[in-house]
Structure 1
């Protein structure tokens, strides 16, 4: 079990989205949760998002997965696997210590393997990231947040920037953690063969929220009404949009937001959609409710699928938003939200009397059959 050596609560107060920092020994006695061979195996899979990045002098080479590792150079290259927590249970455990942050902000665990000199060049990200140094050492530089960094067009698949003056310039060793907020330029390269584990948190943009809400409104045929004005005045300026008409149409648009329950449903479904492929394997043959009940009664454990996004609103805990869909339980089953959305495992001990409620067992059976929860071996 991985355990942070510092208070995440104090860290959030001092550093979160304010300034970058290095936490020496953020994990004690850190051991890589995945081997290079296992990571390479993931990178060779069709469903897994991976990249290979190499530098030859001033030239960069980028390949997207599935990768092969034939004829790779001796050094100055890396390969990266996105959403490794979706595909490797041991790697996913590295995310657990960061669960004091909201799950809806968490994006994925990215893992990189680098040979000496390997890196992706100086660049700027728009998300918060905790970079945990695994085996080996890596040299990191982080610059101040500014608007006028000049882009470097060294390869169409890389969004790099030109030089920056570092405010952090240090070497990370196993268990050290580098935190970088959005907008701070950074550049890291391996001193020797090394592994890095990046726990990324990504907040939604205004644009994507508006786009997603518009899609929801259209799909649910909300607001399918025309502008209506029985008091339309005659005018000598037919090309003019009168201020009253502008105000009416603006009010039409704003009125779409004046539906709290609908907004909550849209937001819950939107935030619970994963940006990365999930390793979903539907149960075959499907479980029966009596089998799920007996399985838990026997002291067995069900585990949530790596990367599955499951949320609820504390004031409406009987409504669950899982992988882009809404699931409704009877109001008296409200405690189920915490077991399904806060916890990573489900057992009879934690459920108590809830295990005897037919509606809960029916939903749990449905979720297991979808492959969203699965038996722990």
Structure 2
């Protein structure tokens, strides 16, 4: 469990600290499941893993970013200090890390983006930078000194030509030396700078925070892909004065807006349905593999199921039923299956005994078969 200070409950954290102020939590959790240096090096050589290395240079441009995968022995090219290896989506590639995500059960699951893990050589850093989302920085091995600057960040304070939002100027307001098991929570927009003191490994749990433009782009793209286009028409076009032929009249504006609005579903339900699919979609390079064989319910009933590491399962409750979302797809369920939907979406795996009471219902069987065909679930391997 997450060991919050005795004076801070989960309710207090969400009401007084979340998205408002930094918080250092000493000895917050056990870190034995976070991989060691050799495991991280192996992952950096895997072309299925998103990896980067940030180097601090002695002269301009002062910071250098390199994209992976990297060749075996890559660390010899970077020396013994002032570089950092970053590995994204480690919770998808290393199932044992999902238990860390469960520590944040008091925050909706759709808000959690990923666990990034960094290995830093002595004095390694990614520079003073700012994130636009909440992050929990977990010290796993070694020590890292964190400094923060809560001043508002102006765009002209960002270094150009590097995809890391590194700051030109940084004014230290507070600093802490984190030991293994310590966590530093930072709300969006708080500039921070972590420097390794000796070799160290840090895990960061980042939270999803789409912009209004992200949502608009996704929603409009969905409408263009799925909607039927209505062509503008004006069957009762009045005669106009030739001197006004170049004018866009108020009636024309109203008619064009009406045509535009015809492409947008009215009411909350259509957008809520799309949002469920949108929020459950995996990242483009992290879709589950499709199964090589058909779903065998007898095997599922005996061994149970496991959610694919890349898969996202969410659900939404409405007056007339439950909608379950899996990797961008939606499935309608009756309200009496709300408990099953919650159990399925909140669990990494379910045993045959967990499933047994539900396998008498045809709707559950059809759902499991569909999820298996999507690759969202797999049958538990026999030990």
TM-score (norm 1): 0.88
Distance in 2 of aligned mates of 1:275 and 1:354? 31
Measured against aligned partners, the alpha-carbon deviations of 1:215-251 in whole angstroms (never above 9, x if no partner) come to 11121124x1133444544355333333444344445
RMSD, aligned CA: 2.5
Q: Does the alignment pair 1:266 with 2:274?
A: yes
Distance in 2 of aligned mates of 1:351 and 1:32? 28
Residues 34, 91 of structure 1: 8 Å contact kept:
no
Could you tell me which residue of structure 2 aligns to residue 285 of structure 1?
293
Could you tell me which residue of structure 2 aligns to residue 165 of structure 1?
171
Could you tell me which residue of structure 1 aligns to residue 337 of structure 2?
333
Distance in 2 of aligned mates of 1:76 and 1:162? 18
Cα distance, 1:123 vs. partner?
Answer: 1.2
Return 168-177 or 73-82, whichever deviates more. 168-177
Residues 51, 88 of structure 2: 8 Å contact kept:
yes
Could you tell me which residue of structure 1 aligns to residue 216 of structure 2?
210
Label 1:349 to 1:136 Cα distance change in 2 as closer, same or farther (>3 A). Answer: same
Cα distance, 1:10 vs. partner?
Answer: 1.7
Residues 31, 135 of structure 1: 8 Å contact kept:
no
Q: How does 1:7-86 map to 2 (within 5 A)?
A: 7-27=9-29, 29-58=30-59, 59-68=62-71, 69-70=73-74, 71=76, 72-86=78-92
Could you tell me which residue of structure 1 aligns to residue 246 of structure 2?
239
Q: Aligned with 2:359: secondary structure?
A: helix
TM-score (norm 2): 0.87
Distance in 2 of aligned mates of 1:117 and 1:154? 23
Q: How many residues align?
A: 369
Distance in 2 of aligned mates of 1:111 and 1:11? 24
Residues 145, 197 of structure 2: 8 Å contact kept:
yes
Could you tell me which residue of structure 2 aligns to residue 363 of structure 1?
367
Residues 304, 355 of structure 2: 8 Å contact kept:
no
Could you tell me which residue of structure 1 aligns to residue 232 of structure 2?
227
Measured against aligned partners, the alpha-carbon deviations of 1:301-339 in whole angstroms (never above 9, x if no partner) come to 422122421222111653211111122345543433212
Label 1:136 to 1:147 Cα distance change in 2 as closer, same or farther (>3 A). Answer: closer
Cα distance, 1:175 vs. partner?
Answer: 1.4
Label 1:269 to 1:306 Cα distance change in 2 as closer, same or farther (>3 A). Answer: same
Could you tell me which residue of structure 1 aligns to residue 150 of structure 2?
144
Q: Pick from 282, 306, 309: which aligns with 1:306?
A: 309
Structure 2 unaligned runs (5+)? Answer: none
Q: Aligned with 2:277: secondary structure?
A: helix
Could you tell me which residue of structure 2 aligns to residue 275 of structure 1?
283
Label 1:266 to 1:260 Cα distance change in 2 as closer, same or farther (>3 A). Answer: same
Cα distance, 1:348 vs. partner?
Answer: 4.1
Structure 1 unaligned runs (5+)? Answer: none
Distance in 2 of aligned mates of 1:249 and 1:21? 52
Distance in 2 of aligned mates of 1:4 and 1:240? 68
Could you tell me which residue of structure 2 aligns to residue 353 of structure 1?
357
Q: Aligned with 2:96: secondary structure?
A: helix
